[in-house]
Structure 1
Amino acid sequence: MAGKDRFSTTTRLRLLGEQTAARVYRSQTRRQARRSRLTGRAALLVLVMCTLVVALAYPIRQYFSQRTEISDQEHARNEAARRVEQLRDAKARLQDDAYIVRLSREHLHYVKPGETGYTVYDPEANGTARRPGHDEAAEQPWYSNLWGGVDEADRREP
């Protein structure tokens, strides 16, 4: 019967269960060993990466901030140089007597001796027809002119 025990269903099931349990146990121990080894490595890797990020974050932020500031300063320098060039041109023009004469004739209505100056009023240019030389504001007291200006400003606003 010993031979029969060896081939009996109960014996086979018991052996099969033991073999399966042994395989499962070996598999679990391998997985646990692998998991613990990877977890330690992963934790170390995460720690190193976090340290690098923390160590480099502030200098990188400062670098980009300084690059932006440098760009702004270069732009301001270029604008200042352009403005200096414009002022030098204006200064050079103001050194020319012919330019000064032209400006005084255009803006101040100066005329040379012997010339006759004319001022042409276009009543349609500003929308009201007035006689040249007739100043209504000069005929009124100053406070009427002040309040008239305030009232006119109120009428113009939407």
Structure 2
Amino acid sequence: MASDRFSTAARLKAIGQEAQARVYRAAAARRPGRPGRLTGRAALLALVLCALVIALAYPTRQYIAQRSDIADQRREAQQAKKRVEQLREEKARWQDPEYVRTQAREQLHYVMPGEDGYSVAAPTPSAGAPGAHNRGAGSPGDAGGQAAAAAHRPWYANLWDGVDHADAAATPGR
């Protein structure tokens, strides 16, 4: 009986070695013959990865855009706080009667009782003075005061004056 066991064990060992040799030969035969073959698992993995990238692209973009909007809102809030602080300081200055008097004198040209007020007008350049330009395109007397007055009028008033002058020049009977 001992010889039967030994022979069975020896036979099983030999069968296992032969099977192992066949597996190694089959693996070696597969490698060099088909190096670039895509397996089903690899294709499924690639498909799942592509689906994940596509599914996460839009939420990621939205997240980044929202973070940018939050940063902009914080910046605007900081600027608003600075502006509020400036306005509070200005309000505090206007509570001071001396500051109000100073502003009334400078901006509204007020004069305290008993004081003499003076107003100095800027000199107007004469037509022949150096540095004076002829702005008008009409008659020679048009260059001086009318050009300066035209600069201070609204644009539409200047437009209609131009139309009137052109009309007057086109109709000799006027």
Q: Calculate the aligned-residue CA RMSD, in Å.
A: 3.4
Q: Which residue of 2 aligns with 1:117?
A: 117
Q: Which residue of 1 aligns with 2:63?
A: 63
Cα deviation 1:95-137 (Å, max 9, x = unaligned) = 010000001111111111111000011214xx579xxxxxx9x
Q: Which residue of 2 aligns with 1:151?
A: 158
Taking structure 1 as the reference length, the TM-score comes to: 0.57
Question: Shift of the alpha carbon at 1:29?
Answer: 9.8
Cα deviation 1:56-101 (Å, max 9, x = unaligned) = 1122112101101101101110111111011101101100100000
1:31 aligns with 2:38: no
Q: Which residue of 1 aligns with 2:141?
A: none
Q: Which ranges of structure 2 fall in alignment gaps of 5 or more residues?
A: 1-28, 128-144, 146-152, 163-174
* Pairs aligned (count): 110
1:44 and 1:84 map into 2 onto residues whose CA distance is: 60
Higher helix share: 1
Equivalent positions of 1:4-153 (< 5 A) are 31-32=33-34, 35-36=36-37, 38-124=38-124, 127=125, 150-151=157-158
Q: Which residue of 2 aligns with 1:22?
A: none
Question: Shift of the alpha carbon at 1:47?
Answer: 0.8
1:119 and 1:78 map into 2 onto residues whose CA distance is: 44
Percent of aligned positions that are identical: 50
Letter in 1 for 2:87: L
Cα deviation 1:129-154 (Å, max 9, x = unaligned) = 9xxxxxx9xxxxxxxxx99x823887
SS in 1 for 2:110: coil
1:49–1:70 Cα change, 3 Å: same
Q: Which ranges of structure 1 fall in alignment gaps of 5 or more residues?
A: 1-26, 130-135, 137-145
Taking structure 2 as the reference length, the TM-score comes to: 0.52
Letter in 2 for 1:103: Q
1:152–1:58 Cα change, 3 Å: closer
